[in-house]
Amino acid sequence: MVKKVAIIGAGPGGLTLAHYLLRREHKYQIDIYERRSDPRDIPLNQTRTFPMSLGDRGLKTLWQIPGLEAEIKTISLETTGSILHQKNGKQRRLDRKKTFVSIDRNHLTLAILKNLNQQYDHSRLNIYFDCQCTNIDIANKTINITQNSSTEQPTELTRNYDLLIGADGARSVVREAFFQTQDFQVETDYVPSAYKSLYLPNPAEISDINLEARKVHAWRLNNGITVLLVHQIDKTMNGVILFPYQNNPIAELKTGAQVQQFFQENFPVVSKFLPQSAAEEFAQRPISRVLTVRCNRYHIEDSVLLIGDAAHAVSPSIGQGCNSTLEDVRIFNEILDKNADDLGKSLSEYSLVRVPDGHAVKELSDYSFPTDKKLFAEFIIRNSFAKFLHPIFPRKFPPPILDAVFADDISYSTILLQNQDWISKLKKNNHSLQS
């Protein structure tokens, strides 16, 4: 019998999982509910999007969807590492063993969505935008949806499901429903840094600044405020500014002129290609925060599953949130293959396999990358040693953390075990700073 699947959330996780389920020999009929409007109708710079780095872990999942690799290659750039620009004009380079793909989160989502719509008609797939899931009744397998409209009063709908997927991000309403069952535990924490997106023109077009292509460019102040920028396919630069949420100067910047002055004083290179219009848009954009999530179970019996940020949202520090989300999809698909789509077996096996990795990727994201200046220098040295020694003595010296997390041949749990000394050191340092 065809199973009725309701996916909450049309982000990278929900849309990619829809692809994988629809390829499973007509076993699933899918409805996706997304609270935001259709992204095809909204200009990018009016959204809270940001560039993401995707390595083999995420790309391997995407490349298995026919046509998607070619589409993504037209809207993303291959990137080979990062450059940290220091105050004295010198650069510290962090080159990667393998290239990764730099792509805007909303461009990625749009590409997966368009591909889905091209491949499946309404008999198998329906995507409802402006539809927010507000409540779930686990015992009766129903969801409540509020359908918003710019012209009419909101409509309340109730829908039933055989399988409910919570792909609704860090503040998941599906995860909240897990409290209707026994022994569910979740920890949520805000990352100390908040962020605002930046959309800048091609530097070479309006200034004498020429930033190396195919790199993530970073500028960091002693107080931890960091600008990260990546070239886009049209040579414009997008990125984010990260800053401590508490007592931050960014909240005070209310006008374009104030924004320009702040950048001139603190990030003079970036200020050279920050035009008035971009500064004004920046001043209007809200501050965003990142919530991390750690829970002890990702399923309820044979009928509810959490994937992606809903299950294990992490700090963006080492670029693993979307990579691990896409890996979730591939692993769930493999588990369905193994159990011939028996949902009872597959959902419990998924939690068993994936919870340890969800905990590990959170730990790695919280503690791999130091903010402290001295520890950062140590991180660079360790990275260079690991790069040199791992190919010669692979058993004794693990690969550099950043290479390992972007590859897909080592699980997050193993990477955490291999780097336990470094992670413990950073954890200790962070805790001593907080106390």
Ligand X SMILES: Cc1cc2nc3c(=O)[nH]c(=O)nc-3n(C[C@H](O)[C@H](O)[C@H](O)COP(=O)(O)OP(=O)(O)OC[C@H]3O[C@@H](n4cnc5c(N)ncnc54)[C@H](O)[C@@H]3O)c2cc1C
Name the one range near ligand X by CB under 6 A: 259-267, 271-279, 321-329, 402-410: 321-329
Structure tokens at 33: 């509910």
420: tokens are 């336990």
Asked whether the beta carbons of 41 and 67 are under 8 A apart, the reply is no
What is the C-alpha separation between 217 and 212, in angstroms, rounded?
A: 8
3-class secondary structure, 141: coil
CB of 145 to ligand X, least distance (A): 8
Contact between 161 and ligand X per CB under 6 A:
no
Q: Which of 106, 320, 371, 419 binds ligand X (CB under 6 A)?
A: 320
Distance of CA 194 to the CA centre of its chain: 15
| Smallest separation (angstroms) from ligand X to the CB of 335 | 18
Closest contact distance (angstroms) between CB of 272 and ligand X is 24
Task: Determine, following the binding rule CB under 6 A, whether residue 169 of this chain makes contact with ligand X.
Answer: yes
Are the CB atoms for 365 and 320 separated by under 8 Å? yes
- Of the pair 191, 279, the CB lying nearest ligand X is at 191
Query: 60-86 burial string, b = 16+ CB within 10 Å, else e?
Result: bbbebbeebeebbeebbbebbbbbbbe
- 105 interacts with ligand X by CB under 6 A: yes
Measured CA to CA, the distance from residue 356 to residue 86 in angstroms comes to 38
- Give the CA count within 13 Å in the CB-facing half-sphere of 254: 1
Using CB under 6 A, pick the residue from 4, 23, 27, 36 that binds ligand X.
36
308 is a contact residue toward ligand X (CB under 6 A): yes
Beta strand pairing status for 155-160 and 142-147?
Answer: antiparallel
Distances from the Cα of 376 to the Cα of 226, 268, 320, angstroms: 14, 23, 19
Structure tokens at 187: 């920890």
| Closest to 17 measured CA to CA, from 6, 26, 25 | 6
**Residues 54-73, interacting with ligand X (CB under 6 A):** 54, 58
Q: Is 173 in the site for ligand X (CB under 6 A)?
A: yes
Count of positions on this chain that bind ligand X (CB under 6 A): 35
Q: CB 350: neighbour CB atoms within 10 A? A: 23
The region of 23-31, 33-41, 153-161, 368-376 touching ligand X under the rule CB under 6 A is 33-41
Residues 354-413 that bind ligand X (CB under 6 A): none
Stretch that binds ligand X, among 31-39, 73-81, 268-276, 384-392 (CB under 6 A): 31-39
Binding part of the chain for ligand X, among 32-40, 148-156, 270-278, 366-374 by CB under 6 A, reads 32-40
Contact 18, 30 (CB under 8 A): yes
Pick between residue 54 and residue 84 the one whose CB is nearest to ligand X: 54
List 5, 6, 8, 164, residue binding ligand X (CB under 6 A): 8
Residue 244, classed as helix, strand or coil, is strand
Region 180-199 residues binding ligand X, contact defined as CB under 6 A: 195
Site string for ligand X, 229-268 (x = CB under 6 A): -----------x----------------------------
Pick the closer one to ligand X by CB: 9 or 370: 9
Interface residues with ligand X (CB under 6 A)?
A: 8-14, 33-36, 50, 52-54, 58, 105, 132-133, 167-169, 173, 195, 240, 290, 308-309, 316, 319-323, 325
